[in-house]
Chains A and B, each alone.
Chain A
Amino acid sequence: AIQLTQSPSSLSASVRDRVTITCRASQGFSGLAWYQQKPGKAPKLLIYDASTLQSGVPSRFSGSGSGTDFTLTISSLQPEDFATYYCQQFTSYPQITFGQGTRLEIK
């Protein structure tokens, strides 16, 4: 089964910083999604198909990558962006796999 490894597992950053989170797959595939989750809340879809911004998501979020390496970039961190981020892929639809998560904290 495909495994997704996110790095870093956690990071500290300041408001207005540019932040990049990486998701690496154990084998190549197409299509990856990114979610944001805040404590006590459900995951929120940010990006799908590696680089397509979900409706209503601020443009400071962007995704890129293909094959085995994908990135989520937040161009200028806002206070509401401090959360945990997960990548997700359809291993073999409809089976899905999530990365272990990246916790983004305020420095």
Chain B
Amino acid sequence: QVRLVESGGGVVQPGGSLRLSCAASGFTFSSHGIYWVRQAPGKGLEWVTFIWSDGSNKYYGDSVKGRFTISRDNSKNTVYLQMNSLRAEDTAVYYCARVVWIGAVPIVPDWGQGTLVTVSS
């Protein structure tokens, strides 16, 4: 059974840092790209970042570019999101999710339960 479990959320002051983790199980972790998607309270879904299965390529949304860094350790089946220079607008539930390819079509069928990050003084 596929499982993605986020951790590391909490309350942090503006300008501070936080590192989120996404621990995976139930599938061949090193074969799948992983997303971080966030959702501000009462708002919609926003793509944050993506990392290829082997970690060789990383992509970032404009709102986090230069402040957030995604990485992965395939030996630990874990993806990390290092968040620096946090702002109030980064307050959100952060989900990790995996990509599966159905032929030539990418889909995102598996999501974690999310971890809440609150940026507040």
Instruction: Give A contacts to B, CB under 8 Å.
Output: 31, 33, 35, 37, 41-45, 48-49, 52, 54, 86, 88, 90, 93-101
Residues in A with CB closer than 8 Å to B33 are 94
Nearest Cβ in chain B — how far from A71, in angstroms? Answer: 19
Interface residues of B in 79-121 (CB under 8 A from A): 95, 97, 99, 102, 105-109, 111-114
Q: Among A42, A48, A100, which residue has its beta carbon within 8 angstroms of that of B44?
A: A100
User: Is B107's CB under 8 angstroms from A94's CB?
Assistant: no
- Select A96's contact among B44, B47, B105, B112, beta carbons within 8 Å: B47
With A42-B112, A43-B111 as contacts: A90 and B106 at CB distance below 8 Å: yes
Which residues of B are found within 8 Å of A95, using beta-carbon distances? 47, 50, 59, 61
Please classify how large the interface on chain B is, using the bins under 10, 10 to 19, 20 to 34, 35 or more.
Answer: 20 to 34
Task: Identify the B interface with A (CB < 8 A).
Answer: 33, 35, 37, 44-47, 50, 59, 61, 95, 97, 99, 102, 105-109, 111-114
Main secondary structure of the interface of B (DSSP, over half): strand
**B107, A48: Cβ atoms closer than 8 Å:** yes
Question: Within the assembled complex, what's the spacing in Å between the Cα atoms of A98 and B46?
Answer: 7
CB distance from A104 to the nearest CB of B (A): 15
Kindly state the separation between the CA atoms of A44 and B44 in the bound complex, as whole angstroms.
14
CB-based contact B46/A31 at 8 Å:
no
Interchain nearest-CB distance for A8 vs B (Å):
15
Are B45 and A94 in contact (CB-based, < 8 A)? no
